[in-house]
């Protein structure tokens, strides 16, 4: 990725086919789960994205042997020699990802202690980890926060506990699952997140021998077991990437077949895509998304936890909404800082205004707290190429979509961030007929 500056010539409808593989928000967690087993785990449908590389290095530092499996996209993780990692080597991963915090439970079970460096991930809000730490303490872990990271100890076997999350956090639910499965006794987690990626992680853990039940009221009950074995698991597809390509088709007036897309994971998105005026054709092999011609329809939308409209679907959809005829309202209720990327769309010619109030629906946690978390988008707007710096993963991909839909050329800097969650996105763009090329950084 020489210099990570991408030149995009806009104005071409993207047409063709691409394949989406395993979910960025499941695979690294399934890799962490492998640490809990006594025998190797075999994970399939693994995408070649930076986050998988980072987690491979991290688990290797803790003694897990990571090797390619027999089929393409397969990884074998052998946890038989898990050991304390060198703190300096782990600290070198500070700021690289948010996954390290999920190593707490597995490492406490395997070695009695854990060191977790400062977390990275997209800057889309404060992203505290208080729910994680409260849960770990309730299991009996001792948590020492120091300037370089978290030092945790389990003076005795962690024990099951009763927990209620203040908000159905994906990461905190995963933290509890990865800790409860080998804890002594029963854990009951109320107000848990139930995203499909969490259900897929539960499937991995059940294959490993865990006893987990998911109740209708967001309660998860885990009966701890003494030992887990390795599992073979094919990851669910990346429904966030699918939505990104769907919105690319819509915003560029294109027609894209996403092989590997699975309807059941994204019904809410599919309803919204249709409501805006996009067409879909769902098959067993994937989903075709296209712009049927004519004007797009504006709408009012609120992001939410599953089964609501995902916060990660919001950014690509907003680009498409700049092309709808009329006023759309988007209320972001999951992360307080996830609309900053719209400044760049305005620079490109979009008419978007941010508001601190909760617009268009139910009041949310951010209503009285001075966060610009509602957007009013008036369209259709002609977009023009611009020189942009990519801020985060999903916002960054939305810049790519906007640049493809715009008149003229754009230069996008810091494109490496997109590698974190989109496998071979440049190859996929080229395959759809996009006019993109690397240019040397100035
Ligand atoms: C996961 O982040 C995903 N990341 C995010 O995807 C996704 O947007 C998010 O879930 C929501 O679906 C990964 O899976 C690696 P949360 P996570 O805990 O787990 C608050 C992408 O682009 N909260 O559900 O960090 C938090 O601040 C990424 O792929 C606390 O207050 O999200 C937020 O407002 C970005 N305290 C809300 O809960 C805590 O201890 C939801 O966050 C934990 C969370």
CA 173 – CA 221 distance, rounded (Å) = 12
If phi > 0 it is left, if psi is from -120 to 50 it is alpha, else beta; for residue 185 that is left
Integer CA distances (angstroms), 213 to 26, 127, 205, in order: 19, 28, 11
Based on the fold, state whether residues 225 and 261 are members of the same structural domain: no
**Residue-range definition of the domain harbouring residue 340:** 5-20+237-439
pLDDT at 90: 83
Q: Could you tell me if 58 and 108 lie in one domain?
A: yes
Strand-pairing partners, residue 234, are 44
Ligand 1 centroid from CA 428, angstroms: 27
CB 165, CB 178: distance < 8 Å = no
Q: What separation in Å is there between the alpha carbon of 195 and the centre of ligand 1?
A: 11
Domain end, chosen from 234, 255, 271, is at 234
Q: From the first residue on, what is the mean pLDDT of each consecutive set of 10 residues in the chain (442 residues)? A: 79 97 98 98 97 94 96 96 86 84 96 88 80 98 92 96 98 98 98 98 98 97 98 98 98 98 97 98 98 97 97 98 98 95 97 94 88 97 97 94 98 92 95 93 69
pLDDT at 2 (0 to 100) = 44
pLDDT, residue 35, reads 97
| Predicted local distance difference test score (pLDDT) of residue 33 | 98
All residues at 6 or more sequence positions from 418 whose CB lies less than 8 Å from its CB, including other chains: 390, 393, 396, 397, 400, 425
- Among 234, 266, 299, the domain boundary falls at 234
Query: Is ligand 1 within 6 A of the CB of residue 132?
Result: yes
pLDDT at position 369, please? 87
pLDDT for position 162: 98
Cβ atoms of 159 and 136 within 8 Å: the answer is no
Task: Quote the CA–CA distance of 397 and 349 in Å, as a whole number.
Answer: 18
Residues 225 and 333 in one domain: no
pLDDT value, residue 442: 67
Nearest protein Cα to ligand 1, atom 43? 129
DSSP 6-42: EEEE--PPPEEEEE--B-TTTHHHHHHHGGGBSS-EE
Enter the tokens of residue 169: 């956090």
Contact call for residues 329 and 301 (beta carbons, < 8 A): yes
The domain spanning residue 380 has which CATH number?
3.65.10.10
DSSP 3-state assignment of 152?
strand
Asked whether residue 230 falls in the same domain as residue 243, the answer is: no
41 plus 71 within the same structural domain: yes
Cα dihedral 257, 260, 266, 267, rounded to 10, equals 70
* Whether the Cβ atoms of residue 45 and residue 73 lie closer than 8 Å to each other: yes
For residues 195 and 309, membership in a common domain is answered with no
- Is residue 130 lining ligand 1, measured as CB closer than 6 Å? yes
**Residue 170 and residue 302 share a domain:** no
Q: Report pLDDT for 118.
A: 83
Q: Are residues 254 and 386 in the same domain?
A: yes
Residues 228 and 246 reside in one and the same domain: no
Q: Clarify whether residues 135 and 178 are in a common domain.
A: yes
How many structural domains compose the chain? 2
Please, what is the Cα angle at 29 between 102 and 216, to 5 degrees? Answer: 95
Instruction: Please check whether residues 282 and 426 belong to one and the same domain.
Output: yes
Domain boundary among 175, 210, 234: 234
Q: Do both 183 and 307 map to the same domain? A: no
Say what the pTM is.
Answer: 0.96
Contacts of 368 (CB under 8 A, 6+ apart): none
| 122 is an active site residue | yes
Q: Which residues contact 231 (CB under 8 A, 6 or more apart)?
A: 37, 41, 42, 204, 207, 208
* Catalytic choice (104, 122, 247, 364): 122
Q: What's the pLDDT score for residue 171?
A: 97
């Amino acid at each position: 990725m020489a210099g990570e500056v991408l030149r995009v010539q806009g104005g071409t409808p993207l047409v063709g086919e691409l394949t989406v593989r395993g979910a960025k928000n499941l695979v690294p967690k399934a890799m962490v789960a492998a640490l809990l087993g006594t025998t190797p785990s075999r994970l399939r449908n693994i995408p070649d994205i930076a986050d998988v590389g980072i987690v491979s290095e991290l688990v290797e530092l803790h003694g897990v042997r990571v090797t390619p499996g027999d089929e393409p996209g397969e990884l074998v993780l052998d946890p038989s020699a898990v050991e304390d990692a060198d703190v300096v080597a782990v600290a070198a991963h500070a700021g690289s990802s948010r996954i390290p915090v999920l190593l707490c439970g597995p490492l406490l079970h395997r070695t009695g202690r854990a060191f977790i460096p400062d977390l990275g991930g997209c800057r889309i809000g404060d992203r505290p980890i208080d729910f994680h730490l409260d849960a770990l303490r309730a299991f009996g872990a001792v948590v020492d926060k120091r300037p370089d990271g978290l030092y945790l100890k389990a003076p005795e076997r962690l024990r099951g506990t009763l927990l209620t999350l203040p908000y159905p956090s994906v990461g905190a639910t995963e933290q509890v699952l990865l800790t409860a499965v080998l804890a002594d006794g029963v854990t009951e987690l109320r107000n848990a997140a139930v995203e499909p990626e969490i259900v897929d992680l539960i499937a991995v853990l059940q294959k490993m021998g865990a006893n987990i039940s998911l109740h209708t009221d967001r309660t998860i009950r885990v009966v701890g077991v003494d030992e887990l074995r390795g599992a073979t698991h094919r990851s669910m597809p990346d429904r966030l990437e699918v939505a990104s390509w769907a919105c690319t088709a819509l915003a560029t007036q294109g027609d894209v077949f996403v092989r590997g897309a699975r309807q059941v994971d994204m019904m809410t998105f599919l309803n919204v895509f249709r409501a805006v005026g996009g067409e879909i054709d769902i098959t067993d092999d994937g989903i075709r998304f296209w712009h049927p011609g004519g004007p797009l329809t504006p709408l009012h939308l609120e992001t939410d936890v599953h089964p609501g409209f995902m916060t990660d679907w919001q950014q690509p959809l907003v680009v498409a909404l700049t092309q709808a005829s009329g006023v759309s309202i988007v209320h972001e209720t999951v992360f307080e800082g996830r609309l900053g990327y719209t400044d760049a769309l305005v620079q490109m010619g979009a008419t978007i205004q941010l508001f601190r109030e909760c617009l268009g629906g139910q009041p949310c946690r951010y209503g009285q707290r001075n966060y610009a978390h509602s957007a009013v988008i008036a369209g259709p707007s002609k977009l023009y190429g611009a020189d942009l710096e990519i801020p985060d993963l999903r916002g960054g991909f939305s810049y790519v979509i906007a640049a493809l839909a715009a008149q003229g050329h754009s230069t996008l800097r810091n494109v490496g961030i997109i590698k974190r969650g989109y496998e071979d996105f440049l190859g996929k763009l080229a395959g759809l007929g996009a006019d993109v090329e690397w240019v040397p950084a100035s």
